[in-house]
Amino acid sequence: VLADLGSVRQVEDLFAIEIPIGHVMAWVNAVNQARLAIAATHDFQEEDMGGELPIPPKTARDLALLEMEFFGHVQEFLVAYLMQSSG
């Protein structure tokens, strides 16, 4: 995962990263670990999830909740890609 982060490049006003198919499971695991660490650090409970997102974030906890949501979407995308590739 760390090596893949070295492939980040800017394309106009966006950033892109290429993740080899053989690395996708490592990314899924790393993103999941990041989400678990954020949840533990900020003591998120089930009732904190799935509600309205704090936009713009006003506290570090708000930002952490947004990060968890973002990483959750990345994880969903990676899993969907794996399922599509294997089917």
pLDDT reported for residue 46? 86
- Number of helices (H), then strands (E), belonging to the chain: the values are 3, 2
Q: Digits of tens for pLDDT over the chain (87 positions)?
A: 999 999 999 999 999 999 999 999 999 999 999 999 999 999 998 888 878 888 899 999 999 999 999 999 999 999 999 998 876
pLDDT reported for residue 87? 65
CA-to-CA distance for 54 and 62, rounded, in angstroms? Answer: 6
Reported pTM: 0.83
